[in-house]
Amino acid sequence: MTDLQNQSVALDGLAPPRGSPILTGRLVALLACLSAISVLSTNIILPAFPEIGHELGVTSRELGLTLSSFFITFAFAQLLVGPLADHYGRKRFVLGGLALFVIGTMVAGFAGTLDVLIAGRVIQALGVCAAAVLARAIARDLFDGETLGRALSLTMIATAAAPGFSPLLGSLLTTAMGWRAIFVMVGAAAVLIAWFYARSLGETLPPGRRTALSAASVVSAYGRLLREGRFILPAASVSLLMSGLFASFAAAPAILMSGMGLSSLQAGLYFAATVFVVFAAGLAAPRLAHRFGSRTITILGLATALLAGALLLIGPKSPGLGWYSLSMVIFLWGMGLANPLGTAITMSPFGKEAGLASALLGFLTMGAAAITTWLGSVLEYPPVLTLGAIQATVCAVALVTFFSSRRG
């Protein structure tokens, strides 16, 4: 029997208790929920900024600290969660992280000052980073090869849908019940996910596959991954690609609302509509990979995303909604193909260190996103040209880097 068969994992319909696990709808739903809750909690509060600022007596710019504090905490905390979960197992960190997230959500929801709100967001990030990191690690525990790519493709659909739908959801909740209702909703979602995970899956890393743990061994392991071409080259490609997506979300208010005159509700509906492109790409990616190979389709996706950035560069400085939407659809299609397959290629050789590899990949993605969103806010050029330059640059570098990984 294999290590996976020897472990006492109650799959309860997600996969059979004997034999190799199969990819089921319930398992995909669980992985998607674990991955999406972190993205959902990131920007769902954006539509509530005016109301929060009015009630707490702060400006929208000051409220930006609730985002930056979340991102910074999330980026560094996952570097600890990954190796700890490789040593102690997944279950305690998934459930403990979600519990901590609920505590942070309560602190933020009852906040009466900006400092308390920021503290709540920091606690949220400390907890929810475990769910995001370990969703990929759990997928790697259970699957490899094409099945891993398919699992990550389907999981990515939900992860990409969360930032698309969350502004609209946040706007509706704020309008109907006030901004504190946002935190009630995400807290309730975390409780439901924790219940679903504990009842349906549980531990996926058997003791025989766990790694030793010490500060020196963790630093050494991260160092090895950073020097390992099979990891760092595809990981850098995926991170650069995703930084282009974050840049597009950061630039969208200036482009859609200030530039084109859309209302906040219209902008939220626009984001929600674009999610269906990601749905289609996520479903197509594993089928295309099966026929043409994962690396070939990843390269195609990166090249497609590069084309989207180029369209913004060669188009008008103040494009109409049609031209901008064309670029967005092309970018999201390319991202939807390349991201899950590139992630699977990155993670596949490192099954024994899946948590650590997932954590480092997440850190690189957050770091790249922080740089591109910062550049988008400080470069004094028309927002469309700035976004086009950022997307074209990061996708070009990602494409060259991924080609290098083929030779590595």
CATH number at residue 184: 1.20.1250.20
Q: Are residues 302 and 162 in the same domain?
A: no
Residue 19: other Cβ atoms inside 10 A: 11
Pull the structure tokens for residue 74: 């999330």
Q: Are residues 65 and 196 in the same domain?
A: yes
The answer to the question of residue 34 being in a domain is yes
Answer with the one of 142, 168, 203 that is the final residue of a domain: 203
Q: Are residues 181 and 235 in the same domain?
A: no
The answer to the question of residue 212 being in a domain is no
Tens of pLDDT, residue by residue over 99-122, are 999 999 999 999 999 999 999 999
pLDDT class for 9, splitting at 50, 70, 90? very low
Q: Are residues 117 and 250 in the same domain?
A: no
Question: What distance in Å separates the CA atoms of residue 218 and residue 85, rounded to the nearest whole number?
Answer: 12
Question: What distance in Å separates the CA atoms of residue 367 and residue 362, rounded to the nearest whole number?
Answer: 8
Q: Is the pLDDT of residue 215 over 80?
A: no
The answer to the question of residue 219 being in a domain is no
Answer with the one of 169, 188, 203 that is the final residue of a domain: 203
pLDDT class for 132, splitting at 50, 70, 90? confident
Of 133, 162, 135, nearest in space to 278 by CA: 162
Q: Are residues 67 and 174 in the same domain?
A: yes
The answer to the question of residue 118 being in a domain is yes
How many independent structural domains does the chain possess? 2
User: Residue 264's domain spans which residues?
Assistant: 228-408
Q: Are residues 161 and 252 in the same domain?
A: no
Query: In sequence order, which ranges of 229-320 are alpha helices (DSSP H)?
Result: 229-252, 264-292, 294-314
Pull the structure tokens for residue 10: 């109650």
Q: Are residues 63 and 164 in the same domain?
A: yes
Residue type, 52: I
Q: Is the pLDDT of residue 12 over 60?
A: no
pLDDT at position 19: 43
Question: What distance in Å separates the CA atoms of residue 29 and residue 13, rounded to the nearest whole number?
Answer: 12
The answer to the question of residue 222 being in a domain is no
Q: Are residues 246 and 177 in the same domain?
A: no
Of 320, 307, 2, 329, nearest in space to 141 by CA: 2
Q: Are residues 257 and 290 in the same domain?
A: yes
- Tell the residue number behind the tokens 């979340």, with chain if given: 70
Q: Are residues 133 and 199 in the same domain?
A: yes
Tens of pLDDT, residue by residue over 307-364, are 999 999 988 878 888 899 999 999 999 998 998 899 889 988 887 777 778 888 988 9
Residue 7: other Cβ atoms inside 10 A: 18
Q: Is the pLDDT of residue 97 over 80?
A: yes
Of 229, 251, 221, 258, nearest in space to 349 by CA: 229
Residue type, 337: L
Rounded CA Rg of the chain? 20
Q: Is 25 exposed, middle or buried (0-12, 13-18, 19+ CB in 10 A)?
A: exposed
Q: Are residues 36 and 116 in the same domain?
A: yes
Pull the structure tokens for residue 277: 């492109």
Q: What is the DSSP string of 319-387?
A: --HHHHHHHHHHHHHHHHHHHHHHHHHHHGGGSTTHHHHHHHHHHHHHHHHHHHHHHHHH--S-HHHHH
pLDDT at position 391: 95
Q: Are residues 53 and 148 in the same domain?
A: yes
DSSP conformation class of 257: I
183 or 261, greater pLDDT = 183
Question: What distance in Å separates the CA atoms of residue 89 and residue 238, rounded to the nearest whole number?
Answer: 26
Tens of pLDDT, residue by residue over 13-66, are 343 333 456 777 788 888 888 888 887 887 788 777 778 888 998 876 677 678
Q: For all residues of the chain together, what is the average pLDDT?
A: 82
pLDDT at position 309: 94
237 or 52, greater pLDDT = 237
pTM as predicted: 0.73
Percent of the chain with pLDDT over 90: 28
Question: What distance in Å separates the CA atoms of residue 279 and residue 110, rounded to the nearest whole number?
Answer: 36
